[in-house]
Amino acid sequence: MRYQLYYWPSIQGRGEFVRLALEDAGADYGDLPPKENFLKRQAFAPPFLKAGRLVIPPTANILLYLGGRLGLAPKAEAARLRLHGLQLTLSDWLVEVHDTHHPIAGSLYYEGQKPEAKRRAAIFLAERLPKFMRYFERAADERFSYLHLSLFQMIEGLRYAFPNAMRRHERRYPRLLRIHDRVASRPRLSAYLSSGRRIPFNQYGIFRRYPELDERS
Non-local (6+) Cβ contacts of 53 within 8 A are: none
Distance between the two ends of the chain, CA-based, in angstroms? Answer: 50
Minimum distance from residue 75 beta carbon to its own copies (Å): 15
Which DSSP state fits 207? S
Fill in the amino acid letter for 182.
Answer: R
- Write down the least CB distance from residue 20 to its own copies, Å: 19
Options 2-10, 98-106, 163-171, 183-191: segment touching its own copies (CB under 8 A):
98-106
95 binds its own copies (CB under 8 A): yes
Q: Interacting stretch for its own copies, rule CB under 8 A, among 129-137, 142-150, 163-171, 172-180?
A: 129-137
Which amino acid, residue 200?
Answer: P
Stretch that binds its own copies, among 10-18, 97-105, 140-148, 194-202 (CB under 8 A): 97-105
Amino acid (1-letter code) at residue 66: L
Secondary element (H or E) of residue 50: strand 48-51
Q: Which is nearer to its own copies, 55 or 193 (CB)?
A: 55
* Run of H or E residues at 3: strand 3-6
Can residue 138 be called a binding residue for its own copies (CB under 8 A)?
yes
Choosing from 15, 34, 46, 57, the residue that interacts with its own copies (CB under 8 A) is 57
Examine residue 65 and tell whether it contacts its own copies (CB under 8 A). yes
CA angle 25, 26, 29 (to 5 degrees): 110
CB 82 within 8 Å of CB 146: no
Give the total of residues touching its own copies (CB under 8 A): 40
- List the alpha helices (DSSP H) in the chain: 15-24, 36-42, 59-69, 77-101, 114-123, 129-139, 146-161, 163-169, 174-184, 187-193
Task: Note whether 172 binds its own copies by CB under 8 A.
Answer: no
46 lies in the binding site for its own copies (CB under 8 A): no
Nearest distance in Å: CB 143, its own copies: 18
> Could you say whether residue 120 binds its own copies (CB under 8 A)?
yes
One-letter amino acid at 69 equals R
Binding positions for its own copies, rule: CB under 8 A:
41, 43-45, 53-54, 56-58, 60-61, 64-65, 78, 81-82, 84-85, 88-89, 92, 95, 99, 103-105, 107-108, 113, 116, 119-120, 123-124, 127, 131-132, 135, 138-139
